[in-house]
Structure 1
Amino acid sequence: MLIAQITDIHLGFDPDNPAEFNRKRLDKVLHLLSEMDRKPDMLFATGDLVDRGDIDSYRRLRNALAACPFPVWMCVGNHDVRDNFCATFPKVPTADGFIQYVVESGPLRFIVLDTLEEGRHGGAFCEQRAEWLAQRVAEAPDRPTVVVLHHPPIDTGIEWMTTGRDEPWVGRLDAALSGHRNIVGLMCGHIHRAIVTGWRGRPLSVCPSTAPQVALTLAPMNPAEPDGRPMIVADPPAFALHYWNGEGLVTHFDNADEHVALARFDASMQPLVASLIDERPKPEGVTAARRVRLV
């Protein structure tokens, strides 16, 4: 199973421009995903879908996603506005007034969370949302489950974007998941960088943005003393692909810039490919040549 992820689209950052920079970046990623030799089974857009939470930007997002040849599921981030999102995407499920729901797809179960507190940049997760999550996790204890949310509950080392590990919402999220062995990963956004880590015994990945990325600066930061460090950089629009191999999620990151091929699978490369694949244990009745064709 192959799950695509995009995040932090920030559509409407340039609100009156029909050729908006962030829309072009989004379209470039969506085109690449739609034309892949193996198309994703589904796509998650993990928050900060628009920049100002306005209806017009959500409508343009809806138009951009309409051509995707796979199901698209969304969660909200700190730049989103629930009422305007729900007015534009009325079929997205909600629970207790929050945009959170369960998606059953193939071998996996996805629990989409709402970590938005309007007016706050960082994450939020109240007792009501935590209780809902605990119930959803407990009702399918033997089914591999992925938690999808905007804000990563981790200290990333990027001080102006990071989450404090002792924030109350982080503790509520952890408590709701504690004791459950079916969580195979958490998929997050928000940081505008590719990050892979573990969080309290659970795999966690952060997808880079389709909008410009956050600069990798891990030096301590004094908010009272501007030091001229880069904060936002014009790196290419990016995405993640999460491959479920039957045992766990394998996460790949890529961008939508042109990649120059230095080698291709042609007649000159065929012997190498065949020999590499032939090193693996072979299922009965499958020859090396057929294994190459299957790959």
Structure 2
Amino acid sequence: MLIAQITDMHLGFDPDNPAEFNRKRLDKVLQALNDLDRVPDLLLATGDLVEYGDVDSYRRLKRAFAACRFPVHLAMGNHDVRASFATVFPDTPVMAGGFVQYAFDHGPLRFVVLDTLEEGRHGGSFCEARAAWLRETLAAAPDRPTVIVLHHPPIETGIAWMTTDPQEPWVIRLETALAGQGQVIGMVCGHIHRAIVTGWKGRPLAVCPSTAPQVALTLAPLDPQVPDGRPMIVADAPGFALHYWNGDGLVTHFETADEHVALARFDAAMQPLVELLIGERPA
């Protein structure tokens, strides 16, 4: 099973521009996914779908997704606005209180989409109502391999201005809700605009690069009172993730929607090497 993930589209950053930079980057990623030699089974879009939470940007996002050859499942990020989102995507499930949290099955896996948005706040949020819903939802399918999908990664990333304090109440609440849930095989997130892989509380956690411009990799300490000229946002290629379920676990690949120059192809010259490599495996 192949699961595609995109994140942080920030559509509408350049309002009223039909040739918007972020839309071009999004279209490039969606085209790359459509053109893969193995079409993904589904696509997870993990928040910051638009920049300003306006209805028009969500409409343009919906038009962009219409080109996809696979179902798309959406999550909320800190730039999103639930009311505007619901106007354009009314079929996306919500729980009591209007939080965009839902679970769905696809193939052998279950996906639990969380809402870590607190409107007006950049960082994550996860209240007790959302945590109770998560506990109940996981309890309903204790034996089905489950992927947790959310926008904010609950980890210290090392990027001083784009990170989470592991002692934030929402992180502790999420950790408590997931405690003892052995069916959770991994977590996929966005928000940081970089490809990151780590473990969190005994589970693999992957952060997808953004379709919008990336965050610069700067791991030096930062004094918020002393601007030091460090790069913060860079125009690196739009990226995406592919999570491959091999029957035992998730294997995450990161890719860019850039041109890739092939230096070798599977032709007669490469066939002996391919046969050798595959022949070394147990029969």
**TM-score, normalised relative to structure 2:** 0.99
Aligned partners of 1:87 and 1:175: how far apart in 2?
33
Aligned partners of 2:139 and 2:179: how far apart in 1?
10
The answer to whether structure 1 residue 222 and structure 2 residue 188 are counterparts is no
Aligned partners of 2:26 and 2:104: how far apart in 1?
24
The answer to whether structure 1 residue 9 and structure 2 residue 9 are counterparts is yes
Aligned partners of 2:147 and 2:83: how far apart in 1?
26
How far is 1:200 from its partner? 0.9
Q: Secondary structure at the match of 1:173?
A: helix
Who is 2:201 aligned against?
200
Aligned partners of 1:157 and 1:190: how far apart in 2?
14
Letter in 2 for 1:208: P
Who is 1:211 aligned against?
212
Letter in 1 for 2:81: V
How far is 1:55 from its partner? 0.4
How far is 1:16 from its partner? 1.4
User: 1:109-141 CA deviation, whole Å, 9 max, x = no partner?
Assistant: 000000000000000000000000011111111
Alignment: residue pair count:
282
Who is 1:287 aligned against?
none
Who is 1:252 aligned against?
253
Who is 1:134 aligned against?
135
- Structure 1, unmatched stretches of 5+, are 283-295
Q: Secondary structure at the match of 1:104?
A: strand
How far is 1:35 from its partner? 1.1
How far is 1:166 from its partner? 0.1
Aligned partners of 1:178 and 1:256: how far apart in 2?
37
Letter in 2 for 1:245: N
Who is 2:265 aligned against?
264
Who is 1:60 aligned against?
60
Please tell me whether Structure 1 or Structure 2 has the larger radius of gyration of its CA atoms: 1
Q: How does 1:44-193 map to 2 (within 5 A)?
A: 44-96=44-96, 97-193=98-194
Q: Secondary structure at the match of 2:84?
A: helix
Who is 1:276 aligned against?
277
Aligned partners of 1:93 and 1:66: how far apart in 2?
19
Aligned partners of 2:55 and 2:180: how far apart in 1?
40
Q: Secondary structure at the match of 1:90?
A: coil
Aligned partners of 1:101 and 1:224: how far apart in 2?
41
How far is 1:91 from its partner? 0.4
Q: Secondary structure at the match of 2:282?
A: coil
Which has the larger displacement, 132-141 or 248-257?
A: 132-141
Aligned partners of 2:145 and 2:91: how far apart in 1?
25
Aligned partners of 1:35 and 1:194: how far apart in 2?
22
Q: Secondary structure at the match of 1:154?
A: coil
Q: Secondary structure at the match of 2:104?
A: strand
How far is 1:67 from its partner? 1.4
**TM-score, normalised relative to structure 1:** 0.95
Q: Secondary structure at the match of 2:134?
A: helix
- Structure 2, unmatched stretches of 5+, are none
Q: Secondary structure at the match of 1:250?
A: strand
Aligned partners of 1:219 and 1:148: how far apart in 2?
29
Percent identity of equivalent pairs: 73
How far is 1:272 from its partner? 0.6
